């Protein structure tokens, strides 16, 4: 009896002995080659076969290959082919039979599984499924291609055409979660169509022309520590990674690097799954997080904004979180799959490859679906700091912008209503009509601070009551009296409040804030230089002309011609928010300061604008 080295599912008519398993090493098993006779009746010696399994391995019984009734095998004599079946599983002497013509001749060839298989001129064609199914303690049915060739002795002995990855993940961080799928990816083809070439003589070669990834689905979930088996083509792989999808929706990526697996052998890849998500909120929480490079990220969801409450009385902590909701994406979708919530954090992973430029507005909700808080995720590798000659540092583009250059709507950033934290979509359609959610007041009670948190997409326009125009998005008397929604230090109508004291409603990322009126005045003392469709400050910082969105209830109410939002005929100035309110005349006259970029200059406006007006924000570094 001859002996050949194989991995567990290596042969028809074989008993199997496994060697001990060592992490990160190639493990092989020894198989005794008991041949299959190719006489007219065919017979097969099938030790350990069990009727409830198909072509899998019984690891609890020494790793024996298991075959059962009706497993199909494609058999050829070079000119004729026929599908053969195991007639009876289990026991020595079980016979095979054929449907159709009994093959003649002395040279026979066989390929398993029969589906999609062929033999021609010394080359066996078969398939390794790109999507495989996990089976408790082994493998799913008919996944593992095998080939056999008979010589003058007319005996067939099956050999594997594939290799096996045995993946054993462990964890402490994800304890209690199960694994729903494992995706193995590499820089070379792993599965799909394969060809086993015997025509060259000697050891056959295996080539794969299919997919660079294989998905192992685990519908019922597998616990950490359970071996997961993935069939792949033999070869040397670079950039091999294993991505686990967990029952919580989180993904864990293990980069195995370079891995070589030979035909009829297997390799065990063991690793410990740790928290490999970069914490965007590690140095401070906020309402906007900047993503400048691809990767896996998380941020704290139980703190509202930066956690500094205002005088409005709302708690800065969030409880009762049940799920994550995506309100909208703009630009390219930069995240991969979906967002997940676990133990106080929202988790997500960016798409593979270079980081796309885009925005997502993401919220956490309670069990009823009510939004508890929301965040602006800003994906853009071009976000950078610009330090001016006075020592102040600013972001190089408007909050949420896609680029600095004025060449499409991406330079704008997003509109904000004074005191609110959420970006309002402002993409334009034909005739300058705003093609994004717009809500006006249905009554005097719907534009509250609490409702604005529950409805971050809504742009609350002004309204009229009793013949009085109310140009304020917030209609509650006990809300409008507060001054400190963006700056904790503001306690009155004070345009000289100190440039510190960011609160939980400030829309800027951690480490940045909406500038105060005083900070704007200081900046405007610097030398200005003319810019194309905008102003350049200190020769370094570009401020594009961006129209404001009027406080009225009509979709296309924008203010004056100078603020025309049509990018082909942009006016000569654009307005920006600062933190300071500047009127105490009641709801009908609730206004805020603004600053502007105009005709090659940057300045601050002695006039004011209604608090419901939408304007863009340029963030200043703390």
DSSP 29-58: EEEE---EE-STT-EEEETT--TT-SSEEE
Note the pLDDT of residue 496. Answer: 63
Inside any domain, residue 323: no
Residues in the chain, overall count? 622
Same domain? 429 vs 573: yes
Question: Of 251, 273, 295, which residue sits at a domain end?
Answer: 273
Inside any domain, residue 289: no
Confidence band of 508 (pLDDT split at 50, 70, 90): very high
Question: Of 219, 241, 273, which residue sits at a domain end?
Answer: 273
Inside any domain, residue 555: yes
Question: How many structural domains comprise the chain?
Answer: 2
Residue 49 has pLDDT above 60, yes or no: no
Same domain? 158 vs 12: yes
Inside any domain, residue 340: no
Q: How many CB atoms lie within 10 A of CB 255?
A: 11
Range of the domain at 517: 383-621
Both structure tokens of 577: 């928010």
pLDDT in tens, 112-138: 778 788 888 888 888 999 999 887 656
Inside any domain, residue 374: no
Inside any domain, residue 320: no
pLDDT in tens, 305-364: 999 998 888 899 999 999 999 988 888 899 988 899 988 999 999 988 899 999 999 999
CA 63, 69, 70, 73 torsion: positive or negative? positive
Same domain? 545 vs 412: yes
Question: Minimal CA–CA distance to 615: which of 515, 483, 541, 526?
Answer: 515
Q: How many helices (H) and strands (E) does the chain have?
A: 3, 50
Alpha carbon distance 474, 463 (integer Å): 10
Q: Are 154 and 256 in contact (CB under 8 A)?
A: no
Question: Of 246, 273, 300, which residue sits at a domain end?
Answer: 273
CATH of the domain at 197: 2.60.40.3540
Q: Are 414 and 400 in contact (CB under 8 A)?
A: yes
pTM over 0.85: no
CA 222 to chain CA mean position, Å: 22
Please tell me which residue, 22 or 375, carries the higher pLDDT value: 375
Inside any domain, residue 316: no
CA 535 to chain CA mean position, Å: 37
Same domain? 32 vs 181: yes
Residue 538 has pLDDT above 70, yes or no: yes
Using the structure block, give the residue that is written with the tokens 């007319």: 154
Alpha carbon distance 318, 366 (integer Å): 10
Same domain? 265 vs 118: yes
Inside any domain, residue 351: no
3-state helix, strand, coil in the chain (%, to 5): 5, 45, 50
């Amino acid at each position: 009896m001859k002996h050949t080295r194989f991995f567990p599912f290596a042969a028809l008519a074989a008993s199997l002995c496994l060697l001990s398993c060592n992490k990160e090493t190639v493990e092989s098993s020894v198989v005794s080659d008991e041949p299959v006779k190719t006489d007219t009746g065919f017979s097969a010696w099938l030790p350990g076969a069990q009727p409830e399994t198909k072509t899998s391995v019984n690891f609890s019984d020494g790793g024996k290959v298991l075959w059962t009734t009706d497993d199909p095998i494609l058999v050829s004599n070079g000119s004729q082919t026929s599908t053969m079946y195991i007639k009876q599983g289990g026991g020595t002497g079980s016979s095979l039979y054929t449907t159709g013509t009994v093959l003649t001749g002395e040279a026979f060839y066989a390929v398993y599984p029969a589906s999609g298989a062929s033999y021609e001129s010394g080359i066996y064609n078969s398939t390794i499924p790109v999507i495989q199914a996990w089976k408790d303690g082994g493998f799913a049915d008919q996944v593992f291609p095998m080939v056999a060739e008979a010589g003058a002795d007319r005996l067939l002995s099956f050999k594997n055409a594939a290799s096996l990855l045995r993946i054993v993940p462990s964890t402490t961080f994800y304890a209690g979660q199960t694994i729903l799928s494992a995706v193995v990816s590499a820089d070379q083809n792993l599965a799909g169509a394969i060809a086993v070439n015997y025509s060259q003589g000697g050891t056959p070669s295996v080539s794969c022309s299919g997919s660079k990834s294989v998905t192992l689905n685990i519908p019922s979930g597998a616990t950490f520590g359970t071996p997961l088996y993935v069939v792949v083509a033999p070869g040397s792989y670079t950039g091999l990674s294993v991505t686990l999808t967990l029952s919580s929706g989180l993904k864990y990526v293990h980069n195995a690097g370079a891995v070589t697996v030979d035909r009829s052998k297997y390799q065990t890849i063991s690793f410990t799954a740790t928290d490999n998500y970069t914490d965007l909120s590690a140095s401070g929480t906020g309402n906007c997080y900047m993503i400048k490079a691809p990767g896996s990220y998380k941020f704290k969801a139980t703190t509202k904004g930066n956690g500094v409450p205002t005088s409005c009385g709302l708690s800065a902590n969030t409880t009762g979180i049940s799920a994550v909701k995506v309100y909208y994406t703009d630009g390219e979708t930069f995240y991969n799959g979906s967002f997940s919530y676990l133990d106080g954090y929202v988790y997500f992973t960016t798409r593979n490859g270079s980081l796309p430029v885009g925005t997502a507005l993401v919220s956490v909700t309670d069990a009823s679906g009510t939004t508890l808080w929301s965040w602006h995720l800003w994906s853009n590798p071009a976000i950078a700091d610009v330090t001016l000659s006075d020592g102040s540092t600013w972001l190089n583009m408007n909050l949420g912008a896609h680029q600095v250059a004025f060449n499409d709507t991406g330079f704008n950033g997003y509109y904000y209503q004074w005191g609110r934290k959420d970006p309002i979509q402002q993409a334009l359609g034909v005739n300058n009509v705003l093609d994004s959610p717009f809500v006006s007041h249905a009554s005097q009670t719907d534009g509250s601070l609490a409702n604005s948190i529950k409805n971050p997409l809504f742009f609350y326009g002004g309204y009229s009551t009793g013949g009085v125009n109310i140009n304020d998005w917030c209609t509650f008397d006990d809300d409008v009296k507060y001054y400190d929604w963006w700056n904790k230090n503001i306690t009155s109508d004070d345009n000289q409040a100190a440039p510190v004291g960011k609160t939980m409603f400030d829309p800027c990322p951690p480490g940045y804030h909406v500038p105060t009126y005083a900070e704007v005045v200081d900046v405007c003392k610097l030398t200005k230089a003319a810019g194309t469709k905008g102003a350049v400050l200190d020769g370094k910082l570009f401020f594009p002309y961006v129209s404001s969105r009027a406080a009225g209830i009509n979709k296309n109410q924008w203010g004056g011609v100078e603020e025309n939002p049509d990018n082909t005929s942009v006016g000569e100035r654009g307005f920006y928010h600062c933190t300071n309110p500047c009127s105490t005349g009641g709801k009908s006259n609730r206004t805020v300061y603004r600053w502007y970029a105009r005709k090659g200059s940057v300045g601050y406006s002695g006039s004011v604008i209604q608090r419901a007006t939408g304007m863009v924000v340029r963030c200043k570094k703390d």
